[in-house]
């Protein structure tokens, strides 16, 4: 994801390394989905702040298949078109739990550094 559209660079939030994988796994918790649906779900759920270059989804999907976290299957979509559906595997589900915990810790840590007051007031 080295090339960026210069016009949108300011509005978009750049994805951290490995975050996309997490987002995909999270999206698939709800059930199988094809590539386009995954991309849309990520955009919608993040209120369009996280702008994924949609195509970069695919190398990530293949990487996840390779790691055994998701699997792919042929299927028919709503409008009767053949498409490839991706589904979370048992291994992927475990991985998601792990990654989510990690991410939460990470996010809290960052938040603590950036807004120490908030943290104090919460605790």
> Which chain residues interact with other proteins by CB under 8 A?
3, 5, 34-36, 39, 53-56, 58-59, 62-63, 66, 81, 83-84
Nearer to other proteins (CB atom), residue 22 or residue 83 = 83
CB 12, CB 18: distance < 8 Å? no
Smallest gap from residue 9 Cβ to other proteins (A):
14
Nearer to other proteins (CB atom), residue 84 or residue 108 = 84
Nearer to other proteins (CB atom), residue 68 or residue 116 = 68
For residue 26, give both structure tokens: 């999270």
Q: Compute the distance between CA of residue 43 and CA of residue 8 in angstroms, rounded to an integer.
A: 15
CB 26, CB 86: distance < 8 Å? no
Provide the greatest CA pair distance for the chain. Answer: 54
Smallest gap from residue 97 Cβ to other proteins (A):
19
């Amino acid at each position: 994801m080295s090339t960026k559209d210069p016009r949108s660079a300011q509005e978009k939030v750049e994805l951290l390394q490995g975050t996309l994988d997490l987002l995909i796994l999270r999206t698939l918790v709800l059930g199988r989905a094809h590539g386009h649906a995954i991309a849309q779900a990520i955009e919608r759920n993040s209120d369009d702040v996280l702008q994924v270059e949609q195509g970069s989804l695919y190398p990530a999907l293949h990487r996840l298949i390779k790691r055994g976290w998701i699997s792919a299957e042929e299927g028919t979509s709503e409008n009767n078109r053949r498409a490839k559906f991706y589904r979370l595997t048992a291994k992927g589900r475990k991985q998601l739990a792990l990654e989510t915990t990690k991410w939460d810790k990470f996010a809290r840590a960052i938040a603590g550094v950036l807004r120490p007051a908030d943290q104090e007031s919460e605790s």
